[in-house]
């Protein structure tokens, strides 16, 4: 897929600011009913501090459940 440019976050922010007529793209951040902020754009940088992504279910420290099949049938238990 080298035919497509790889835009940066700054490129997106500039375009968003233009489309928002000068308002900040930060105004697009919304909150879920639980109070969790949801950004309009996520990048790989947002995953850097997520420790659980390198873990597996059933392996200490059990961040993804105590069993290897945890949360596959009932994801919100």
- DSSP letter at 31 equals E
At residue 32, the pLDDT reads 94
Question: What's the pLDDT tens digit per position in 6-28?
Answer: 889 999 999 999 999 988 889 99
* Secondary structure of residue 12 in the 3-state scheme: helix
Backbone angles phi, psi at 16, to 5 degrees: -65, -40
List, as one string, the DSSP characters of 2-26.
TTS----HHHHHHHHHHHTTT--GG
pTM for the full model? 0.58
pLDDT, greater one: 45 or 67: 45
């Amino acid at each position: 897929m080298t035919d497509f440019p790889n835009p940066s976050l700054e490129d997106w922010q500039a375009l968003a600011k233009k489309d928002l007529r000068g308002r900040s793209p930060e105004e697009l951040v919304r909150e879920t009913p639980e109070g969790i902020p949801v950004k309009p754009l996520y990048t790989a940088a947002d995953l850097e501090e997520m420790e659980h992504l390198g873990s597996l279910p059933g392996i200490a420290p059990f961040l993804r459940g105590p069993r290897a099949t945890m949360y596959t049938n009932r994801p919100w238990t």
